[in-house]
Structure 1
Amino acid sequence: MRAILALTSLLAALVLTGCTEEARESLRPSRTGCYFTTGAGETHLTAEQASNAATIAAVGLRDGMDERAVAVAITTAMQESELVNVNYGHDDSLGLFQQRPSMGWGTEEELMDPVYASFKFYEKLRRTDGWEDMTLAEAAQEVQVSAYPELYRQWEDEATVIAAVFAGGLDGGIGCVKGSADVVAFDPAALAEAYAYQWGGEVSEAEGSTVVIDPSDAAAGWNRAAWAVARSYDFGIASVAYGGMVWAAGEDGWSEPDAEADGEAAVEIANDSHAAVIITFAAA
């Protein structure tokens, strides 16, 4: 109660004194997490949710599934776990998709691995006849056999936006600012290992403070750039460059660097990024 009264008094004082823009800014909540923007709309995820969504998308693309399949998977995980890899659920359900060891999905350890859990989801989706012609919610239900199938519908629009960014080759559709995930010491080799596990391919370079990924085309490049931005909290990533554009840690958008404002090094990286995704790390 005292805290509320103090804040109320502060607000009143600011109003009476003409409240400067600087003071107003200090009272605004800090932007956190990751922001997704497409022509179809906008949505927001926490750093943890975005990282898990990026993994789901990478596994789907790795295994030959398309953007729509990724949207089905993300719709499902948003309903089942809110895109958080929880180690509990109804009966023995657990993980991103709340899959059950007792129903043959895998062991507890396997289902707590987002890569394995995503693989198992797509495996069943692929075996579902006609899923491509279903709504996202209907396809999710065919895989999950939920007692509450109508609940999947509420996530369709958000999942469509997220899938477009992670699997649709959309340029600059994601930016991440301040996150709550624990930041680990930067390690290009660890990111390269994660990339190989999730995408099923190798990076072209992982040394010093840089990882370079050579995509097959522009769509693949933006998919991998989005994945890297979403993993920025996990791996201490300072910037991601692709297509002549750069995203920097703490920014919710991509920009074309300017030599005067950002320095010659930033412009050089952006120029080199037309053909490759260039990931740089924060200082140790």
Structure 2
Amino acid sequence: MSKSSSPSSRKRGRRLRFATALLVLLSAVGYAAYHFLPGLTQSSGCTVRADNRELTLELPQAANASTIAAVATSRGLPERALAIALATSMQESGLQNLDHGDRDSRGLFQQRPSQGWGTAAQIMDPVHASNEFFNVLVKIKGYTRLPLTVAAQQVQKSGFPQAYAKHEADATLLASALGGRLSDALSCTAGAGAAPVTGGSTAAVRKLLSREFGSQVAPRTAAQVRTVAVPTALPAGSGTASQEQRRGWILAQWAVAHAQDLKVATVAYGNQQWSAVDSGGGWHKSDTRTSGNTASAAAGDVSITVAQ
């Protein structure tokens, strides 16, 4: 015949059951938050998703990569040129604009003032550094048909020429997004708990667009004073509709990659929109989910609205 449990053992049993129930509840809440409220759980950074592949970048890495892409676009270079440049920067600096390196190397591509890449200050300018890289790359005969490691090495003269190969898949994916071939593939978020974005300037957006894309873009302040409209139309007869759409996604994903620095509230192109306040949700149909900051743009424009 078994003895009845003591009061103390019954209390321990109740505490154990309560703790177990609480653990199950917290697990369920965590699962729901992770799967249904990504904006509350996602850390800061950018993600490229396409073809069942995913690449994550820190915010400065994405901004630097988009600058390299803008320079490639301004020069009319093919996607392969962008992939070579991105893979090179991934290896040399991790897509970071480093102010140090081996001997006097610095910047996105670890270029050296002593080797004729420019002054130290110039090399620290991502636009200058990117142009210098492409200046050498385009002089290599048939560079688009060369193995990526060979093309990159002919520019860089690295002591580890095969190291570029390990970045080729990621660089190719990133180039297809920032080069506009993949629409709405790149999205960025400031992460959970980030302070609301304020203090944006349309003048700052226009200045950076013009500096990185050159005369190819003609940004203007839209009727809504907090919005910069960027036409994607090419000169009459010089481009197809698909080329203009690709150009639109180059500009739109550039704006998202620079959203933190430029204090961007929303980016809209076609029927797609990215919103800083809902950045964990990525791109979505602009006619079904809006943040209240969306500004109407002319057909074909990329609409970049800054935060107040």
TM over 0.5: yes
Structure 1 regions of 5+ residues with no counterpart? 1-12
Query: Structure 1 stretches (4+) deviating beyond 3 angstroms?
Result: 13-17, 23-30, 261-266
1:18-167 superposed matches below 5 A: 18-20=24-26, 21-23=28-30, 30-39=42-51, 41-167=53-179
Give the structure with higher Rg (CA).
2
1:255 alignment partner, one of 261, 264, 284? 284
2:213 alignment partner, one of 199, 217, 230? 199
CA offset digits 1:37-81 (Å, max 9, x no partner) = 222722011110000000000001101211110000000000000
Matched, 1:189 2:214: no
CA offset digits 1:118-138 (Å, max 9, x no partner) = 000000000112211112222
Identical pairs, percent: 37
Residues in 1 aligned to 2:177 and 2:20: alpha-carbon distance in whole angstroms: 41
Matched, 1:210 2:217: no
Matched, 1:276 2:301: yes
CA offset digits 1:235-255 (Å, max 9, x no partner) = 110110001111111235211
Q: For the Cα contact (< 8 Å) 1:40–1:161, is it kept in 2?
A: no
Structure 2 regions of 5+ residues with no counterpart? 1-18, 35-39, 234-243
CA offset digits 1:85-134 (Å, max 9, x no partner) = 00000010000000000011110010000000000000000011221111
Q: For the Cα contact (< 8 Å) 1:176–1:252, is it kept in 2?
A: no
CA 1:145–1:258: 2 relative to 1, 3 Å: same
Q: For the Cα contact (< 8 Å) 2:97–2:126, is it kept in 1?
A: yes
Q: For the Cα contact (< 8 Å) 2:71–2:130, is it kept in 1?
A: yes
TM-score, scaled to structure 1: 0.86
Which letter maps to 2:29? E
1:166-181 superposed matches below 5 A: 166-178=178-190
Residues in 2 aligned to 1:86 and 1:211: alpha-carbon distance in whole angstroms: 31
Residues in 1 aligned to 2:275 and 2:298: alpha-carbon distance in whole angstroms: 14
CA offset digits 1:114-165 (Å, max 9, x no partner) = 0000000000000112211112222111110110011111110110011001
CA offset digits 1:209-252 (Å, max 9, x no partner) = 11110012111111110101100000110110001111111235
Q: Number of paired residues?
A: 266
Residues in 2 aligned to 1:263 and 1:93: alpha-carbon distance in whole angstroms: 44
TM-score, scaled to structure 2: 0.79
